[in-house]
């Protein structure tokens, strides 16, 4: 390898860790689309509903901390979910700065229809349980380091 090639080695796309992360994330979300289309959710709406299926009611800030998203992204997502009838949005009585997001009965029912999605996606990704766990731990390690 020439001296010049050596010098710029670290700037090659194939030597980045960020690029496969970015590409992999996008490709998986793309792969979700046909399944999510069946329940008329986008990926962002889906992970938002996931939080609400576990915790029936919370404010935008707490939701954003769980999803690593801020109100600039969440406000339009939540308005959309409200228009679909899956959530309600109302200011908290104790502190009116907080907008309380609460799942509706229809939102609860959607959970049933979403049950088929994780196994379908798992069969696309095709990692062994050991590989999945390894990847999971490495990703959360980076998230912890970066933040």
Partner DNA sequence: CAAGAATAAATTTTATACTATTTAATTATA
Partner DNA sequence: TATAATTAAATAGTATAAAATTTATTCTTG
Q: Which residues bind DNA (CB under 7 A)?
A: 22, 26-27, 29-30, 33, 42-45, 59-61, 64, 68-78, 80, 89, 94-99
Site map (CB under 8 A) of its own copies, residues 7-36, x = contact: xx-xxxx-xxxxxxxxxxxxxxx-xx----
- Interface stretch with its own copies, choices 77-85, 86-94, 95-103, 127-135 (CB under 8 A): 127-135
CB 48 within 8 A of CB 81: yes
> Which one, of 49, 74, 54, lies nearest residue 64 by Cα?
74
Query: From the CB of 108, what's the least distance to its own copies, in Å?
Result: 11
- Residues numbered 71 to 110 that lie near its own copies (CB under 8 A) are none
What whole-number distance in Å separates Cα of residue 66 and Cα of residue 86?
19
Give the containing element (helix H, strand E) for 91: strand 87-91
Query: From the CB of 20, what's the least distance to its own copies, in Å?
Result: 4
CB 47 within 8 A of CB 77: no
59 binds, among DNA, its own copies, none (CB under 5 to 8 A by kind): DNA
Near its own copies by CB under 8 A: residue from 33, 38, 92, 138: 138
Query: From the CB of 79, what's the least distance to its own copies, in Å?
Result: 21
Q: What is 10-28 written as a DSSP string?
A: GG-GGG-SHHHHHHHHHHH
Q: Is 66 an interacting residue with respect to its own copies (CB under 8 A)?
A: yes
Euclidean distance between the first and final Cα of the chain, in Å? 37
- What pairing do the DSSP bridges indicate for beta strands 87-91 and 57-59? unpaired
Q: Is 120 an interacting residue with respect to its own copies (CB under 8 A)?
A: no
Near its own copies by CB under 8 A: residue from 35, 39, 42, 47: 47
């Amino acid at each position: 390898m020439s001296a010049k090639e050596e010098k710029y080695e670290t700037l090659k796309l194939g030597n980045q860790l960020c690029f496969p992360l970015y590409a992999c994330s996008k490709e998986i979300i793309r792969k979700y689309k046909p399944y999510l289309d069946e329940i008329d959710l986008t990926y962002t709406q889906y992970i938002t509903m996931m939080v609400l299926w576990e915790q029936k009611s919370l404010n935008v800030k707490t939701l954003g901390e769980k999803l690593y998203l801020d109100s600039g992204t969440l406000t339009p997502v939540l308005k959309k979910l409200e228009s679909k009838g899956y959530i309600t949005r109302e200011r908290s009585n104790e502190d009116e700065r907080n907008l309380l997001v609460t799942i509706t009965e229809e939102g609860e029912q959607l959970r049933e229809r979403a049950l088929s999605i994780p196994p379908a996606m798992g069969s696309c990704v095709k990692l062994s349980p050991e590989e999945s766990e390894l990847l999971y731990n490495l990703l959360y390690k980076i998230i912890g380091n970066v933040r």
